[in-house]
Structure 1
């Protein structure tokens, strides 16, 4: 265990760049591997999740390496060019990597075995295996549909039409990746729109795909077996990572920070919209586009926050940000209500129950619902002082370390090493802005 302790910060100031977007980093490596030629990726997130995807794509036949300047080079094999891996594909803690790659290999005539850590091995995979079986793939694993699992792909896949029963970008993307090596047109209906990173990345690499609004959702088509040409791209900064220094600055008096190159995909900006509605001072500077994705620099200043009821329909655009929104809500005046977020129950952990338990341990009033929670603040500093169990969840860890920056007593998380999966420079970046986050037994800087 690597305990981390977060103590009060005087103010946050400075300019930083957060690591590349995790969702886009996974997809950049996968699509570069499916293109012909060399794809050069700048700003790739070098966390464990993405590195595991890179290792898996190497095992499937792509040549992937990092140069001395931090650029990643991907020499792809083309659609249809993957080969059977020699060993199991270890996806570590990454549900995104596991589900996307299950989709990718399901339409190839070989077997692939997926394994992961204890957290990933407890997470449901049937949501992706059910539609992938319709292409002709077979899945062999535990009775409850968790890893380890062997995918026996099909050499004669058939295009499918599928109505996605849950709002999940991972399910949609798994189907889209299976469709790449499937002749004909695959159709996907989302009842609730989810992140469209895969659609944007497909278009960027030249896949023929359409997206049409339909009954409040989206109808997506993918024309299979395209010839993809390598592209160079810059990965936008991850808005989910930017959320932590952003909230830290909002709750810390005297703060004024700038976060450069943050991805502002409309399907990912629910937290920013919510915080602005709560009174957050967030200014968008230098708005532009990178690899089909909108980006900007964010100026963030300390703000007086007021509680709101978050629209349930906003959940898909901020599903990973509810834990850190809970921290902002603890400093807001009134009760912030968050519903429609039942997907949090099946993330890296049951984020609803774990956040509720940790918030209460820190003296914060919170009500738990099946699909969310309500957090009450009074504008004062919460008590803090708790040792919070992270349950191997990086966002839980970072959220409570952010809380510790303005609570009356320091907040400790039981295992800070899990942060490596998505934000390897979290502690150094936060401390560089003015935070005080130390390992247990380490002297304050």
Structure 2
């Protein structure tokens, strides 16, 4: 994957007015992962049209090849990915998979890796993904007869699985910290000789992403019987993934960053038009409702979303769990709204690439924002007049935090210097380039002599 030249460290985000623009939204990270796994598990050839291209995608491609699949590009522009699937994972000897900093890739591959006799998952981001817990998923795989070796009591990387003879049956999984554990079991279940019955305990976070998993499984020819509350599932044995052609929609969390940048603009001529945003997407609908709640000038026409700046935003209250990956940029937008905003039910943000509650609030406070981190919420006192800026803030190796800080930099009086800008490539390598094309003044900071 080619990385833009702007991804030098550090960069300066100057106060800027944004121009009318129609930037290209990257493809959905959620659906790229799920459709590619469905294609890998189907015997025969599948086509993935417009997969997301990012560091996470590179980690996914490495993992799928390690499971035995063949992946190749149909075109030089990398718009169509051809996958010759494997039916079920196989390997002739021990396998090592470097999952980079891709948490969702790790968790979903852990389930499929349980079918191999000896697989080790490692990361070259020990201070980020290396600190994210996997205990609950490893406990579930242990229930199914897999021998799991990990680092520490919370199941940190590196992780080695000794599986291969896994049969299925009944399993219990906690949904308190991440829905990715459940999605991992759901992708594994159809391959098991005895099928799988899954009981979810401790509640379930990020339910829209579980429904995205169920949607993809159904498209791939897999039948899952489940309770409406998503706390119990039954997957019958003897099912097979079917080769398909899948088209990846646009990515709503990436769109959220662009929408937030325009929402906080004081210029009514700043108009943003985004396309390829699938109507009815559960995350997307909740995100658009959040922008409406803060008073943004928003219009939706099919797959096109238009937002015009220049509106005085209002404080709002939000249950953040349905839009968990959009929270940092929504917090950034709330920093410029009139009055108080409360974004709650977001405890799982502590376990992302960074601590997206405490780390984000630390950096926003440096910039002059009034934010109060809590265990399960962030409270924001808006400053419609803008914030001072004029400082260096750190992205904490986290693409979502970088997006939020860039938005604040655009509305600051003195700009912000961002360190760790290269980590934007985890999901949206061209984010800063797109902002530049929208009129933002963003450039590398010259090294001091």
Q: Same fold (TM over 0.5)?
A: yes
Q: Is the contact made by 1:19 and 1:45 (CA closer than 8 Å) also made in structure 2?
A: yes
Q: CA deviation at 1:422?
A: 0.3
Q: CA deviation at 1:84?
A: 5.1
Which one is further off, 219-228 or 376-385? 219-228
Matched, 1:134 2:150: no
Find the residue that maps to 2:169 and give its secondary structure. Answer: coil
Runs of 4+ in structure 1 deviating by more than 6 angstroms, as ranges, are none
Q: CA deviation at 1:4?
A: 1.6
Find the residue that maps to 1:318 and give its secondary structure. Answer: helix
1:266-281 superposed matches below 5 A: 266-281=282-297
Which one is further off, 15-24 or 181-190? 181-190
Segments of structure 2 that go 5 or more residues without pairing to the other structure are 1-7
Distance 1:236 1:54 in 2: 19
Distance 1:87 1:375 in 2: 47
Q: Report which of the two has the higher share of strand.
A: 1
Q: Is the contact made by 1:132 and 1:178 (CA closer than 8 Å) also made in structure 2?
A: no
Which one is further off, 425-434 or 348-357? 425-434
TM-score, normalised to structure 2, is 0.90
Find the residue that maps to 1:180 and give its secondary structure. Answer: helix
1:289 corresponds to:
none
Q: Is the contact made by 1:258 and 1:300 (CA closer than 8 Å) also made in structure 2?
A: yes
Find the residue that maps to 1:262 and give its secondary structure. Answer: coil
Matched, 1:208 2:223: yes
Which one is further off, 137-146 or 82-91? 82-91
TM-score, normalised to structure 1, is 0.91
In structure 2, which of residues 256, 280, 289 is the aligned counterpart of residue 243 of structure 1?
256
Matched, 1:284 2:300: yes
Matched, 1:122 2:131: yes
2:398 corresponds to:
393
Find the residue that maps to 1:151 and give its secondary structure. Answer: strand
Segments of structure 1 that go 5 or more residues without pairing to the other structure are 287-295
2:54 corresponds to:
47
1:4-403 superposed matches below 5 A: 4-66=11-73, 67-70=75-78, 71-78=80-87, 80-83=88-91, 87-106=95-114, 108-116=115-123, 117-118=125-126, 119-144=128-153, 145-166=155-176, 168-182=178-192, 183-189=194-200, 191-192=203-204, 193-195=207-209, 196-214=211-229, 217-252=230-265, 253=267, 254-264=269-279, 265-286=281-302, 296-302=303-309, 303-311=311-319, 315-403=320-408
Q: CA deviation at 1:321?
A: 1.2
Distance 2:357 2:89 in 1: 42
Q: CA deviation at 1:339?
A: 1.8
Q: Deviations over 1:123-143 (max 9, x none)?
A: 111021111212211111212
Q: Deviations over 1:137-187 (max 9, x none)?
A: 111121232001101114132222425341522011111122132122423
Distance 1:85 1:122 in 2: 28
Give the length in aligned residue pairs. Answer: 426
Distance 1:44 1:242 in 2: 16
What is the RMSD of the two structures over their aligned residues, measured on CA atoms? 1.8
Distance 1:105 1:175 in 2: 11
